[in-house]
Copies of this chain bind each other. A is one copy, B any other.
């Protein structure tokens, strides 16, 4: 009926974030009750408020921390690379790798945007735009230097992001393809088309040997 042995602030907060992430991912923010969250952490519902201010703040914190890290890691991944083609390649590899590694965080960032209060929503949308503009910038640089031909850099960027992000809805670590294979396939699709006509094969490496087997969803 009081503070328990071994209770520890930072440790509990970490457990709340972890359980919250899992529950929001699987049930959605609205459907996750704080009593359920507390029980997964091993405390009572009221005790959550020693660590969070409101349920909404927990959601925002989870999303915000993730977006900040996403942007920071992207900068690291692109650091020192100046050639547009190399930067595009690095962007794709980073994006696919990150989205496979953090599929739950990524999913929440997309699916729970509408559960954010408007002030929080604006902040997150701003961060997402920053990320999008990195890719658009790469494409614009490539076009400006004559290295790329892009019908519309904005549409292309949105298309690339949507295509790559989709990976975290179907990728299975134990599945048919490794992370590296997936990255390679996606890079090829971005650069040479998702579907190539026979007249455009010149200059490409041999088609991969993987047969077009349908893997279960």
Contact = CB atoms under 8 A, between A and B. Distances in A.
Contacts of A161: 166
Given A159-B166, A163-B159, A213-B154, A191 B193 contact: yes
Main secondary structure of the interface of A (DSSP, over half): helix
A24 to B, nearest CB: 10
Contacts of A195: 88, 139, 142, 148-150, 156, 160, 190-191
A208 interface: yes
Interface in A29-56: 30-31
Interface string A203-217: 110011010111101
Given A151-B188, A155-B182, A161-B166, 15 more contacts: A26-B114, A28-B28, A136-B214, A147-B197, A149-B204, A149-B207, A150-B196, A151-B189, A151-B207, A154-B214, A156-B185, A156-B189, A159-B163, A190-B194, A191-B196
